[in-house]
Each structure stands twice: as C-alpha cells, then as structure tokens.
Amino acid sequence: MKLGISSCLLGTMCRYDGGHSRDKFIVNQLSEYFEFDSFCPERLVFPTPRPAIRLVRSNGIVSIRTSNDNKDVTNIVTKISKELVEKIEDNQLYGFILKSKSPTCGMERVKIYPDKKNGQSENVGIGAFAKELKEKFPYLPMEEEGRLGDPWLRENFLMQVFAYKSLFELLQSNPSINDLVEFHTSYKYLIYSKSHDSYKNLGNIVANRDKRPLNVVLEDYKSLFLEAISQKGTIKNTYNVLLHIYGYFKKNITKEEKEEILETMEDFKKEIIPLIAVIKIIKLYVNKFDIEYLKKQVFLKPYPKELALRSKVEAYR
C-alpha cells in the first residue's frame, strides 16, 4: 500500500540548506503499514544546498522567487512539478503526505511574502507541486506532516486512505452490482459518520431505480464515495452512528447494561472518553449476539487497531 511523500520527510538530505525534515511519526509508525514513493521537485532542478525559494506577491500575481536575489523561478518549478505529477498513475498511490510551509510541497497556508519591504505577508499560498497534485487527483487523500500531529486530522486522513484503497480495489475487481451493494453495505455507517447527505445519495445510486448501466452507476458511486470520505467526521455524526448500532442489540440486553452503554456513549459525546472505549463495548455485544450486519461494518474496524487512532479524546470534534 503506497503513499506519496515529500522526500525530506523521510530524512533525505534534499532541503535547500542540505538538511532534512525527518518526521518521527511517519518514519517510525506509518512505515509499518505503508510503502512510500518519495518526491522532491526542487532537487531535480536546483543543486543542494541552494538558495531558499519563496512565494512572493507582486501586483496581485504570486510567483516563486529565490530569497537571496529575487530571481523568478516560477516556470522551472512549475514545469518540473507538472512533469512529476503527470507521471503518477491513477492507482499508484493511496494518499500523499506533503511537507508543510514549503513553496513547492506545502498544501495550504504557505507564506506569501510582499514584494515591498513594508508590505504584509499572508499565509494563504499553496506550493507548486501540491497544486498540480490537487488538480490531477482532487480526491486523493492528502495531508501535511505538521497537521498529522493533530489526532483529529490524523484519524480522518488515515480513515480516508484505507477507504480510498478499498474503493479502488473494488473497482479493479470488475465488480457486479451485487458486489457494489455488498461494498456499500459495509461502508454505510462509516459514510454516515461523515455526512448524512452522502449516506442518502450513495444509497440512491446503489438502489439504481432507473436501471442505469453498471458502468454509469460505478462511475457515479466512485465520485460520490470519494467526496464523502474526504469530509471530516464529527462527534455529532459519530454519536448518531453509535445510537443506530445500539439499536441492533438494545432489546437483548438488561436495563443495567443499557444504562452502562448509553452512559459510555454520552461520555464520548462530552469528550470525556475516547471512541475506542465505546467501540470495545459494542464489539462485545456484536459478537455475543452474532450480528452479521454489524460485523461487516468498516466503521467498527476502519484501519489496523495498532494505529490507535481512536484512543484519544482529541481524535473527534
């Protein structure tokens, strides 16, 4: 399972100053689950070390310039970024981790400097390579290493990566409409935790009441599914999913057991305990009452448990 990555995050000495930006979480933990395809656009056009480059706004237009002599290098950096992105094939990567703040790799809030000494800088830029990547793969899961330090963004990103991979595996398997129904059924509660509208609309596509050809249904499903999983989950939606799931076994448990699980769910909603505490109790009942429909739900096991993404209260907002 491959992720694209800005090379310097793996420890490659390709930064302008000859250093690297090795990221511990990526190198020590994510490398257990993912292979990496690394990219350093700047190294392909400049020597290392090299003068730093930065985004500069002049007369409303943003260009890339060397910080020592203000030389305009926009064309060369854009050209190499385009070439690199063009070479990435459709199913080659399941996500991309980009180096924050870089005028080449930064995904958002890259600093744009004013061209005049007393002007104001703005944190609204995007790196040339990240821009090309977003244009060619609008729904490819993408994050910056800095943002992955936030448990909420980290959980959302990795959930998106695993769901993205599952969808492409389904599409490559030449699926029948029944395969699509099965896939959709397993993702119902995960989608629900992202957006009610997406949940409803995807259900309508799969129901295919107008009897449209399978390839059209799959194409529509793909676009909407990718859009759905790119949305961030919320505590409110996740709590609603928990209530739905609880509905499957509430008649089979005692009054005390009901009180216990409802209190646990409330505690999750109030950000007192992490989601994993609720999931553990739910799984106990799902297995005890052998509820096949719930056993298939990706929501209950969206990624390897060792990633411990649901073990922090801060992973939900």
Q: Which residues bind ligand SF4 (CB under 6 A)?
A: 6-8, 14-15, 40-43, 99, 102, 104-105
State which residue, 43 or 310, has the beta carbon closest to ligand SF4: 43
CB of 112 to ligand SF4, least distance (A): 16
The tokens 């890339």 sit on which residue? 64
Closest of 86, 16, 20 to residue 45, by C-alpha: 16
The tokens 């930006």 sit on which residue? 21
Amino acid at site 239: Y
* CB neighbour burial string for 187-214, b if at least 16 within 10 angstroms, e if fewer: bbbbbbbbbeebbebbeebbebeeeeee
CB of 62 to ligand SF4, least distance (A): 17
CB of 179 to ligand SF4, least distance (A): 39
State which residue, 46 or 189, has the beta carbon closest to ligand SF4: 46
Q: What six digits make up the tokens of 122?
A: 């703005």
State which residue, 104 or 237, has the beta carbon closest to ligand SF4: 104
CB of 134 to ligand SF4, least distance (A): 15
CB of 94 to ligand SF4, least distance (A): 19
CB of 237 to ligand SF4, least distance (A): 34
- Residue 55 sits at φ, ψ, to 5 deg, of -85, 135
Q: What six digits make up the tokens of 278?
A: 């609720």
State which residue, 45 or 308, has the beta carbon closest to ligand SF4: 45
State which residue, 53 or 180, has the beta carbon closest to ligand SF4: 53
State which residue, 133 or 279, has the beta carbon closest to ligand SF4: 133
State which residue, 7 or 297, has the beta carbon closest to ligand SF4: 7
How many C-beta atoms lie closer than 10 Å to residue 313's C-beta?
17
State which residue, 43 or 131, has the beta carbon closest to ligand SF4: 43
Question: What span, in angstroms and rounded, lies between the C-alpha atoms of 181 and 170?
Answer: 11
Check if the beta carbon of residue 48 is closer than 8 Å to that of residue 5: no
CB of 42 to ligand SF4, least distance (A): 4
CB of 21 to ligand SF4, least distance (A): 6
Contacts of 92 (CB under 8 A, 6+ apart): 2, 37
Residues in the chain: 317
Check if the beta carbon of residue 303 is closer than 8 Å to that of residue 158: yes
Question: What span, in angstroms and rounded, lies between the C-alpha atoms of 7 and 38?
Answer: 5
